[in-house]
Structure 1
Amino acid sequence: MSVPRGRGYRAVLEEMISDRVHGASWYFLRLAELLEAGVSEQVPIETMISDIRSIRPGMAPLENVAELLTQVKPLDLSRAIRVYWGRAEEGIRANSRLFMNRVKSMVTISYSSNARLFAEAVGARVVALESNPGGEGRMWGGHGGLVVPDLTMPYFIANSDAVVMGGDGLYEGFIVNKVGSLPLALTSRHLGKPVIVVLESFKARRSRPSQVYRVNVGGIEVPLFDEIPLSLVNVLITDIGVFTRVDVAYIEGKFKETILKYTSTTQ
């Protein structure tokens, strides 16, 4: 088998560890490059599994891929990841179109590629919270969104059709997303606005994350992610369907079934 040539294994790994802007979708796709570099440099599979789990402990796509590495050759898995990522994007775009004319304006947090896909699919006006710490929400300014201070969320939610956010992980009973997502969902519920979460099936994992990633802000360690109870989520849009009642085991199972199929068809 030929191995795609690219950056070195350590360079890709360090980029993933040091990143402070991107979400889980970006990490999932970067894993394809990491695995290819690992094969090229003959990195032991056990080392790759350990390294992947250390990037963002508990992040669902990383844990899922680390687990799959015990069953699938790294190069086959990297190719399957690329295929799955592209088809997941197509599925989310198609399923988002079901909300055309129902969501014309939305409030969001952080910078989610899936929230952007939704906004583009339905033609919604976007109001994005700055999303501190980190301020990733400011990236929406380059995509036609209005960026506003975090504490103004009640005003803008009241004047929108829905809150739409991405998600870094789907677990039994809750979704993990950027810190600030829980107060956003609670405020939306208080104001009678629906909460729509958009994420790919490769982020579904029944087992609870072992750790919550933290960052240092002014000398204080703060968690970078919130847990949003599924009871606060009105609609979950994924690449495999739209759900108002969420079966995490089903979504996780469909992901694993499909990506294993891709490992045999991409060789």
Structure 2
Amino acid sequence: MSIDDILRELREDRVHGASWYFLKGIEVIRIAIERGLEPSDIKALLNELRGVRPGMASIMNLADIIERSLNIGLDLNNVINRLRDWYDSASKRLLTQLDRFPIMCGSKAITISYSSAVKAALSRWGKCIDVLYVMESRPGNEVIQAISDYSNYVGNVVPIPDSAIAHFMRNVNYVISGADGLYSDGYFLNKVGTEPLFIVAHRFDVNTIVIAESYKAVSGCVGEVYMVDFHIDNQGVQVPLFDEVPLELIDYLITDLNIIKKPKPENIENLRELLINNVLNPSG
């Protein structure tokens, strides 16, 4: 695929999350390097990537690391290889952390949207979860992919209307969510509908779990949130694709590096620094 083809795919996608965008972004930069693009052209390309999903942490980190590498004259091939290695090793480390978490057998859980991190969690916890409720997660149709993939690990996966979460919350033990970004300003970013899900969970004293790899940790804030058109009966309105959910609503943050109870902004900063140091200064 060409760079333009991949950028178009990224803009039009309505299913995948931050991990997929991270890999696709790496692919875009690798093609740019292979084609011998000048540093100024690569920097312009980075701005295009940032604009694909404004505020998505994995894209922000990728673009920031590549721009820093250009500014200090690092070999971009080596940087891209280390980013890919970090992605691969993060996936393996995340499974180790998930195995450490004491999920209660015979439990019920609610999740929203589709997340590769949640899929990884279910691959380890699925035998202990009797019922998994999956919100319809509108706007978008990623719930179809979620039900298909999650059913490989949980015997009873049940789609529910977004408006019915309070009813089902009365009988669940966990809310499990991925994250498109962890921000040191004090919140995480995920599919719109996640904030009311977590608020209702706390209303009913249900444990909330967020699962996210370290390359989704960003210093600062999200800035602009990506907006989409939503239509009901020929009436249209623009809605944000993501919610900014306060960290204080998270009981457990599970990353590839650690399990953090009641995460705070400094925890996000630490995750971000570990990523930057390991990619830009691997021997440091």
TM-score (norm 2): 0.85
**Within 5 A, what are the aligned runs for 1:22-41?**
22-41=16-35
| Map of 1:194 onto structure 2 | 207
1:181 touches 1:226 (CA, 8 Å); kept in 2?
A: yes
| Map of 1:222 onto structure 2 | 239
Q: Residue 134 of structure 1: SS of its match in structure 2?
A: coil
Aligned counterpart in structure 2 of residue 180 of structure 1, from 184, 187, 193: 193
1:29 touches 1:82 (CA, 8 Å); kept in 2?
A: yes
Aligned counterpart in structure 2 of residue 133 of structure 1, from 135, 139, 143: 139
The runs of 4+ residues in structure 1 deviating greater than 6 Å are none
| Map of 1:92 onto structure 2 | 94
Could you report, residue by residue, the CA deviation over 1:113-165 in whole angstroms, capped at 9, with x for unpaired residues? 10111111122342211100103222222121322221221232222210000
Structure 1 position 101, deviation (Å): 4.0
| Map of 2:2 onto structure 1 | 8
| Map of 1:111 onto structure 2 | 114
| Map of 1:4 onto structure 2 | none
Q: CA RMSD in A?
A: 1.7
CA distance in 2, matches of 1:14, 1:121: 34
| Map of 1:54 onto structure 2 | 51
2:110 touches 2:132 (CA, 8 Å); kept in 1?
A: yes
Aligned counterpart in structure 1 of residue 76 of structure 2, from 62, 74, 77: 74
1:140 touches 1:147 (CA, 8 Å); kept in 2?
A: no
Could you report, residue by residue, the CA deviation over 1:11-33 in whole angstroms, capped at 9, with x for unpaired residues? 11111122111111110111121
Structure 1 position 220, deviation (Å): 0.9
2:14 touches 2:141 (CA, 8 Å); kept in 1?
A: no
How many pairs are equivalent?
Answer: 257
Structure 1 position 222, deviation (Å): 0.6
Give the partner amino acid of 2:33. Answer: V
Could you report, residue by residue, the CA deviation over 1:232-267 in whole angstroms, capped at 9, with x for unpaired residues? 1100000110001332111111111122256x8xxx
2:99 touches 2:124 (CA, 8 Å); kept in 1?
A: yes
TM-score (norm 1): 0.90
Aligned counterpart in structure 1 of residue 219 of structure 2, from 198, 203, 206: 206
Identity, in percent, stands at 31
Q: Residue 70 of structure 1: SS of its match in structure 2?
A: helix
